[in-house]
Homo-oligomer: A and B are copies of this chain.
Amino acid sequence: MAISTKPPTGTRDFLPEIMAQRREVMEVVQEVYQRYGFLPLETPAIENLSTLLGKYGDEGDQLIFRLLHRGEKLSRLLEDDPGGAVPGGAVRGGAVRESQLADLGLRYDLTVPLARVVAQYGNQLPRFFRRFQIQPVWRADRPGRGRFREFYQCDADVIGSESMTVEADLLSATCEIFDRLGFLDLRIKINHRQLLFALVDAAGIPAALETEALVAMDKLDKIGADGVAAELERRGIAADAIEAMQPVLRDELGDSNEALLEALDARVGKSERGAKGLEDLREVLRLCERSPAAGRLSVNPVLARGLSYYTGPIFEVEVPDLAGSLAGGGRYDDLIGMFGGRKVPACGIALGLERILVVMAERDMFSPSAIGPQVLVTCWSDDLAPEGLALATELRQAGLRVELYPEATKLGKQLKYAGNRDIPLAAIMAPDEVARGAVQLKDLRAGEKHDCPRDEVTTLALKLLGDGQ
């Protein structure tokens, strides 16, 4: 049986055309984040299981890829008989637990490694550590449409400050990234976890059912206000509490951010959590007034975001004609300190990189490839091959991307190769041209041939490529 040459289930090969798209997006992200003072970080794919386990809930723990022990460590486990077979041979396993077979796993997200890095290198890092990280993560999830076992995450976080300027700066950077990628009419929903809790509390939902209520409300986009009301009931929330939540669920509190905030103030402004939530949101809106996020923020009092670790403002990035979000984040002041045993304030945003790539491909939003060759230097004969190398060298030194056809086959075949690969120009040097110090430069888009003195060919190639753009 032939070995399958497909990549494993849930993983992908990125061929050059796709790589060009991925690079294009990542370069924009990187460039913008660096202008916003974020610094790059990379952590290893492999982490100790002691770092990973217990951070993502039971379900998450099950999805962590574990690295099997090797060699003696494994054979000792699998052997009953110390003199028995070596690994690879059949051996008695004895009483073996999963936890004994591995102590390393693959990175599951970029947040836990960040927390580890902050604990490990705290004193080497800036007091306000603004980092971005673009790396793959692995989850042994059931693969499906758009769901992979190996996929990239793209996180930007600011560690060390409780100031709302952090939120404002993150939101501004996010707006600029999406603008640069070509997404129009970006909207950012913003809410606050404390405000949410205050609303739930004010409706008369007991503290023990707060999380239940938030889980139900988080489904509003999918199941509507009636659906959420039914779900709240199913989760044991009293009818009068549900009734009290109705104006919130039905978006009846106000149309503008100002009106909404006033209505919310009337409802929960007197509670400690409500006041804190409103104060923070007003501050973020005020700070964003003269930034790229200006006019993009919509207060949305039901936005909950699934992850329970958020403690302050939360946000989600949407474009009007697309269901679901393209990015999301918020403040999570209790997580980053987990390995250091102290509280470390933090706020971050994760771009849905794989989703962004899918949407951009569907909408044909990518630039024409800027990675493929621009000139094919053809090969007339083995004798003249050094001429080709010399010409290619010159063109490359001028910054052009140049491929050398490696074999002296028929010219027509070489030009066809260039055409199939969308290489715009082909340089031809037959003995006649070499003798009179010339080059034929063929523009394959226009089908035009230019006879050109040898020492002007770089200038002409640059001109033709410039004209064609």
Contacts and interface: CB of A to CB of B under 8 A. Distances in A.
A436 interface: no
Interface string A82-122: 00000111111111111101101010000001001101110
A235 to B, nearest CB: 28
Given A34-B371, A35-B401, A50-B3, A390 B290 contact: yes
Assembly of this chain: how many copies? 2
A68 interface: yes
B93 A94 contact: yes
A388 interface: yes
Given A68-B68, A421-B126, A389 B169 contact: yes
A209 interface: no
Contacts of A291: 389-390, 392-393
A46 B138 contact: yes
Interface size class of A (residues with CB under 8 A): 35 or more
Contacts of A101: 68, 101
A165 B102 contact: no
Nearest to A340: B5
A331 interface: no
Nearest to A32: B396
A402 interface: yes
Given A35-B401, A71-B62, A393-B290, A40 B12 contact: no
Contacts of A13: 41-44, 113, 117, 120-121
A265 interface: no
Of listed A130, A149, A396, residue having the most chain B CB within 10 A: A396
Contacts of A390: 290-291
A45 interface: yes
A228 B92 CA distance: 47
Contacts of A150: 44-46
A41 to B, nearest CB: 6
A263 interface: no
Interface in A344-387: 371-373, 379, 385-387
Contact of A41 (B19, B92, B131): B19
Interface string A1-26: 01111111001111110011011000
20 contacts: A3-B50, A3-B51, A5-B51, A5-B339, A13-B41, A14-B41, A15-B125, A20-B40, A23-B40, A36-B403, A44-B150, A46-B150, A65-B67, A87-B98, A90-B95, A126-B417, A163-B385, A169-B389, A176-B396, A291-B393
